[in-house]
């Protein structure tokens, strides 16, 4: 689904420039001390950011870093926040976002000129936040969360969490077109290994099935440290590398501490991102939708009101794979081709193998995940080396879906 939304007058989506959200931290507890700004310099810092290309300024008065100490009260958060909002009110050419999980802070911030609420708990920390969103009809960034901010581990859990947040907002009567999705990159809970952030960034395009603006908050996060082993102040270039990937994979908004450097990276990455193929004629629309994981298809079909049972039955038909099997006998290759053809797939092998002139051959097997499942089951009971080949095909497919197999390596 092509994303094209208006956020308080700012166009965001697949056909618009990637928007930059500049981070202004009022909290000395922040994990990145270089981002902390005093109230006296908020306007100056915001102006520099907008001059460099920021179209959204995100103000945080309470550190969302899980290890931040001390934990401040809502009253203290407001005491830090309100002077900053007053300094920016009608004085900066950008939308103003407030990073808070508390409904009372969000409500006061909206009264004092904030445009967007950035809730890293995805409405889970303070349920009254839903009432504020409904009353003010404002846009909201919602981060994947279940019980604690950012606690989903792995892309499957992130997708489930965001789907739940959208459903909950819809049930509350909130216009879900005003939601911006954040997949919670960073070590929000101790048990979250960096490989799960690698998976999220690499599979960022999976989030497209929700049809919402996507925000990537990568700047100087712990997953960069896991690779470079450097403190937050020295993670700029690593952050830019990850940002380029997220933009290429479909991010619409980048939240960053470093606007000028990020702007250049985003523009280059955006230029290399392919446009989605959409054809319109009157009331008709045809678009090519790329599904990379079968579970993504379930969320897409759910948005079309396909039954849950129907979506589960069809999901493995939505992803195709091409698997190469090397150095097998011609007879084995021909059996594989015959069995794949019988299931609606296909297989390619060298010309001499078709005529039995070659004793050994490689074979390229083409089919959906469902067709491969059926092929593996059938080959498991056949003669020669076909049961072993079936086992190897199944293992290759399993590895392709396993986060540790895909991303775990010595760092």
Active site residue 255: yes
Residue 27 has a pLDDT of 78
pLDDT on residue 28: 76
Q: Are residues 69 and 205 in the same domain?
A: yes
Both structure tokens of 48? 């520099």
Of 252, 45, 51, nearest to 139 (Cα)? Answer: 252
Kindly state whether residues 130 and 263 are assigned to the same domain: yes
Is the backbone peptide bond immediately before 70 cis, with ω within 30 degrees of 0?
yes
Per-residue pLDDT band for 30 (boundaries 50, 70, 90) equals low
- CA pair distance 178, 8, nearest whole angstrom: 10
Residues 383 and 346 in one domain: yes
Identify whether 409 is part of a domain.
no
Strands, sheet with 95-99, edge to edge from the N-terminal-most edge strand: 179-182, 140-143, 116-119, 95-99, 56-60, 19-25, 253-256, 215-217
Does the annotation mark 111 as catalytic?
no
Measured CA to CA in angstroms, residue 338 lies from 327, 357, 375 at distances of 18, 18, 10
Render pLDDT for 191-214 as a digit per residue (tens, 0 to 9): 999 999 999 999 999 999 999 999
Out of 80, 178, 192, 221, the active site residue is: 221
Place of tokens 């129907």: 310
Q: Are residues 302 and 374 in the same domain?
A: no
pLDDT at residue 59 tops 70: yes
Q: Considering 257, 277, 297, which residue would you say is the last residue of a domain?
A: 277
Residue 324 maps to a domain: yes
Whether the predicted pLDDT of 226 surpasses 70: yes
Sorting pLDDT into bands at 50, 70 and 90, what band is 12? very high
Whether 323 and 308 map to the same domain: the answer is no
The pLDDT of residue 344: 96
Tokens describing residue 323:
């698997």
Residue 282 falls inside a structural domain: no
pLDDT digits (tens, 9 = 90+) for 383-404: 889 999 999 999 999 999 999 9
Same domain, 176 and 45: yes
Reported as a pLDDT band with limits 50, 70 and 90, residue 68 is low
Do the beta carbons of residue 85 and residue 109 sit within 8 Å?
yes
What are the DSSP calls for 109-175, one per residue?
A: HHHTT--EEEETTTT-S-THHHHHHHHHT--EEEE-BSSSBT---SHHHHHHHHHHHHHHHHHTT--
| Same structural domain, 266 and 391 | no
CA dihedral 355, 361, 362, 364 (to 10 degrees): 20
Beta bridge partners of 20: 254
Q: Report CA torsion sign: 79, 81, 83, 89.
A: negative
Q: Is residue 370 in some structural domain?
A: yes
Residues 134 and 60 in one domain: yes
The helix or strand, by DSSP H or E, that contains position 176, with its residue range, turns out to be: none
pLDDT of residue 63: 75
Cα 232 to Cα 405: distance, rounded to the nearest angstrom: 28
User: 335 in helix, strand or coil?
Assistant: helix
73 and 195 co-located in one domain? yes
Q: In this structure, is residue 360 part of a structural domain?
A: yes
Angstrom distance (rounded) from CA 145 to CA 161: 6
CA 3 to chain centre: 14
Is 61 within 8 Å of 81 (Cβ atoms)?
Answer: yes
- Are 179 and 292 contained in the same domain? no
Instruction: Write down the catalytic residue from 62, 208, 249, 255.
Output: 255
Query: How many structural domains comprise the chain?
Result: 3
Same domain, 308 and 327: no
Residue 411 falls within a domain, yes or no?
Answer: no
- Tell which residue, 74, 63, 70, has the closest CA to residue 32: 63
Reported confidence tier of residue 69, pLDDT bands at 50, 70, 90: low
CATH classification at residue 80: 3.20.20.20
When pLDDT is averaged across residues 345-369 and rounded to a whole number, the result is 90
The verdict on residue 410 lying in a domain is no
Cα(303)–Cα(177) distance, integer angstroms: 13
Nearest alpha-carbon partner for 217 in 269, 287, 142: 142
* pLDDT tier at 39, thresholds 50, 70, 90: confident
Does residue 382 or residue 180 have the better pLDDT? 180
Q: Pairing relation of β-strands 10-13 and 19-25?
A: unpaired
Instruction: Tell me, yes or no, whether 188 and 139 share the same domain.
Output: yes
Asked if the model's pLDDT at residue 88 lies above 70, the reply is: yes
Which of helix, strand or coil describes residue 322?
Answer: strand
Could you tell me the residue range of the domain that residue 302 belongs to?
288-315
With respect to residue 283, please indicate whether it lies within any of the assigned structural domains: no
Instruction: Quickly state the pLDDT bin for 4 (edges 50, 70, 90).
Output: very high
């Amino acid at each position: 689904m092509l994303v094209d939304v208006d956020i308080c007058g700012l166009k965001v989506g697949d056909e618009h420039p990637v928007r930059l959200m500049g981070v202004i931290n009022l909290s000395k507890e922040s994990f990145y001390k270089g981002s902390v700004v005093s109230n006296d310099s908020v306007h100056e810092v915001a102006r520099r950011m907008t001059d460099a290309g920021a179209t959204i300024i995100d103000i945080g008065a309470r550190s969302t870093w899980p290890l931040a100490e001390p934990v401040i009260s809502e009253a203290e958060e407001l005491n830090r926040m309100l002077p900053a909002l007053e300094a920016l009110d009608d004085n900066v050419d950008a939308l103003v976002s407030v990073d808070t999980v508390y409904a009372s802070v969000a409500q006061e911030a909206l009264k004092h000129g904030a445009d967007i609420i950035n809730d890293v708990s995805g409405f889970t920390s303070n349920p009254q936040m839903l009432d504020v969103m409904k009353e003010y009809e404002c846009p909201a960034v919602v981060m994947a969360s279940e019980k604690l901010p950012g606690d989903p581990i792995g892309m499957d859990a992130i997708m489930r969490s965001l789907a739940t947040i959208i459903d909950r907002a819809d049930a509350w009567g909130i216009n879900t077109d005003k939601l911006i999705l954040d997949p919670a990159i960073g070590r929000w809970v101790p048990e979250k290994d960096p490989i799960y952030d690698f998976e999220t960034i690499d599979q960022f395009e999976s989030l497209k099935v929700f049809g919402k603006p996507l925000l990537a908050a990568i700047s100087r996060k712990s997953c960069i440290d896991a690779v470079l082993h450097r403190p937050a102040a020295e993670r700029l270039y690593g952050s830019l590398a990850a940002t380029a990937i997220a933009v290429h994979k479909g991010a619409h908004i980048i939240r960053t501490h470093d606007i000028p450097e990020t702007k250049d990276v985003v523009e280059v990455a955006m230029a290399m991102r392919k446009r989605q193929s959409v054809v319109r004629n009157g009331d008709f629309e045809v678009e090519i939708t790329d599904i990379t994981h079968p579970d993504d298809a379930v969320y897409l079909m759910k948005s079309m009101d396909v039954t849950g049972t129907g979506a589960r039955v069809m999901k493995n038909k939505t992803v195709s794979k091409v698997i190469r099997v090397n150095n097998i006998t011609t007879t084995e290759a021909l059996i594989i081709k015959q069995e794949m053809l019988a299931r609606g797939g296909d297989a390619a092998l060298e010309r001499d193998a078709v005529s039995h002139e070659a004793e050994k051959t490689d074979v390229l097997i083409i089919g959906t995940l469902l067709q491969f499942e059926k092929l593996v089951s059938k080959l498991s009971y056949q003669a020669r080396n076909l049961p072993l080949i079936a086992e190897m095909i199944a293992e290759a497919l399993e590895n392709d879906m396993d986060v540790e197999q895909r991303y775990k390596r010595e760092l």
